[in-house]
Structure 1
Amino acid sequence: MGLQRREFLTLAGAGAVSTVVLSACGKLGGGTKVKGPTIGMLQMVEAPPPTNTRKGFEAALAEAGYIPGKNVNFIQKDAAGELPNTTLVMKQFVGDQVDMILAVGTPPLQAAMKVAPATTPVLFCYCSNPWGAGAGTPPGAVGQHKPNVVGTIGTNPVGKELDLARQINPELKTVGLIFNPGEPNSEYEAKVLKEEASKRNITVVEQSVANSGEVLQAAQVLADKKVEAFVKIGDYATIQGFGSIAKVGLEKKIPVYSVDADDIKLPGCLATIGWAYFDDGYAAGKLAVRVLKGESPAKMAFEPLTKTELMVNKATAAAIGVTLPEELIKEAQKVVS
């Protein structure tokens, strides 16, 4: 697997890390390895947003004729939500001599930039901060990024999230934000959110967490501080612990907004606005196809996402005593009753 014995033994004693080591050895998406390129695919957690993004990537490759088990090999893994695992898995990919790496998220991309040789193409998606991951400098045009890396930029539309909250409550002055500052994606999006909030004269009340197990208590603390809404950014701790935020919002009758479409299903989530994750992965897959057919990533630009999806939950609105504007309901791509 390309790991030194000491490193392997150290990591094997680290709980979640050992699970990744043992489960990651040689798993192919199509079963037995076939003749064709091998793509190592890593996401931070197994959750709907990154998983749907990866499925979009796979769909774009299938549309171009790259079928697992027939003419392409997928090695698909997740890091179990642990940052050290991203580096470990990337080292495994290098040891397996994969022909391409797909980094689904900022932490996997950061690990790829540290570990992957310059000769291995790295594609990324579901990524809010490729700059912080070391992939290049904004906006990622030709010549502004490492020559072996290209992908889609998915910094969440947190300004639109605040506008959505203000549309429902024109008097909105404070929002509560829970995030893990140890994640490069979260730290970046928290900064963007605060900048956007300042433009709108909205105060962001922060509560930091180290993992998803701390999210419930953080939400309760913010509720006690009388925040007028909860907002979510691209953060793995709150992806896993979002149910706790929705629960507190429902109990305390505080509107909860998210950038992840799948959250709209949870009682307590009032509305979401964010990227279509399948489309994100699909766009990255189209870039990958170009690379697989011989085009150099060095001659390609990073592609920012532009299309957002709006969803609202009428049942949550009724439960917390909020009236959704009719124009907002008509604009929504999905309405949960």
Structure 2
Amino acid sequence: MKRREFIMLVGGATAAWPVTVRAQQSTMPVVGFLNAASPQGYPRPLSAFLKGLGEAGYVDGRNVVIQYRWAEGHNERLPAMAADLVQSQVTVIAATSTPAALAAKAATSSIPIVFETGGDPIRLGLVAGLNRPGGNVTGAASLAVEVTAKGLELLHELIPSARVIGLLINPNEPAAAEPQEREVLSAARTFALEVHVLNAGTERELDSIFAKLVALQASALVISAGAFFSSHSKQLAELAVRHAIPTIHTAREFATAGGLLSYGSDITDSYRLAGIYTGRILKGEKPADLPVQQATKVELIINLKTAKALGISVPLPILGRADEVIE
């Protein structure tokens, strides 16, 4: 073979290779991953979703393509993001977080949707029933409403002298915030506690919350479950420590980042289940035939280092119930 012919052959093969790869990718199924938060705040849940997808036999870039849409805490962006995924004709929409699930549900009645939510899927209008979802939607649900109210009880048990407590909710996530507010206020009446409901839906508003707590003479804070607060666990933990306010949150990242307590569902469990269901639908199963999965694992994490800094002695009965103690 002549040298010029060899060079032309190699050059032609090199030029053709990206085209071949693109052709292969174009034939792969596409998952539209929609979330209300940011990827920086959700590394563990995202990893769990990909793990579940892998358990079902799918790996991003190998036999499936994932298109990510992160609202970065701006829930008003979700309807347009969901519509964009529908227009792109993705194979499945993985709508993780309650706001994302509601946006996806409103955007399409034909493309399969797999949700992850901390709310009641029936009450939210996502499915007709847990065992028989019907329609194009199914997914995984974790405990959020119940554990937020239980968080108030834990704070009361830990600091019985705290009679005025703040409850932080996100007004941009009413479907998740409102039921949690009802349950916490109901629990507060049981223990004769005064609860002040505080709203925050942006990073700037988070910074002002703790100053408001001081003005209200609140002795502790309960942070409700939700994608925005979960993705800002580190910031919330830093603020709670800086202002020396005992605080409990549903996300474990809050306690590991320095927050006093976290009590809630391990959402990595529900994200993994959502990943598995996404894979099963890619294989041809229908959402209507897949019962909604319930992630029931709940964990209590106590940061003893923070407790000592706040001058709080954690009773042995509470320590004994902890799934993890950070020292």
TM-score grouping bracket, smaller chain normalisation: 0.7 to 0.9
Cα pair 1:90 1:112 within 8 Å, conserved: yes
Structure 1 residue corresponding to 2:293, chosen from 299, 303, 310: 303
Cα pair 1:32 1:69 within 8 Å, conserved: no
The aligned residue for residue 140 of structure 2 is 152
Taking structure 1 as reference, are residues 49 and 200 closer, same or farther at Cα in structure 2, changes over 3 Å only?
A: farther
**Superposition CA RMSD, Å:** 2.6
In 2: Cα distance, 1:32 partner to 1:202 partner: 61
Cα pair 1:87 1:115 within 8 Å, conserved: yes
The aligned residue for residue 79 of structure 2 is 87
Q: Percent identity?
A: 25
In 2: Cα distance, 1:174 partner to 1:141 partner: 38
The one-letter amino acid paired with 1:264 is A
Deviation at 1:48, TM superposition (A): 6.2
The aligned residue for residue 95 of structure 2 is 103
* Aligned partner of residue 313 in structure 2, secondary structure: coil
Taking structure 1 as reference, are residues 132 and 142 closer, same or farther at Cα in structure 2, changes over 3 Å only?
A: closer
Cα pair 2:134 2:289 within 8 Å, conserved: no
The aligned residue for residue 59 of structure 1 is 51
Deviation string 1:34-71 (CA, Å, 9 cap, x unpaired) is: 53321100111125664422321210121222112221
Cα pair 1:61 1:289 within 8 Å, conserved: yes
Cα pair 2:130 2:292 within 8 Å, conserved: yes
In 2: Cα distance, 1:299 partner to 1:66 partner: 20
Deviation at 1:295, TM superposition (A): 2.6
TM-score by length of 2: 0.83
In 2: Cα distance, 1:86 partner to 1:276 partner: 24
Residue 274 (str. 1) matches residue 264 (str. 2) = yes
Taking structure 1 as reference, are residues 249 and 318 closer, same or farther at Cα in structure 2, changes over 3 Å only?
A: same
TM-score by length of 1: 0.80
In 2: Cα distance, 1:165 partner to 1:47 partner: 30
Uncovered stretches (5+) of structure 2, i.e. residues with no partner: 1-21
Taking structure 1 as reference, are residues 292 and 237 closer, same or farther at Cα in structure 2, changes over 3 Å only?
A: closer
Structure 2 residue corresponding to 1:211, chosen from 182, 202, 211: 202
Taking structure 1 as reference, are residues 301 and 203 closer, same or farther at Cα in structure 2, changes over 3 Å only?
A: farther
Residue 260 (str. 1) matches residue 248 (str. 2) = no
Within-5 A mapping of 1:104-253:
104-116=96-108, 118-131=109-122, 133-136=124-127, 140-143=129-132, 145-156=133-144, 157-184=147-174, 185-239=176-230, 242=233, 245-253=236-244
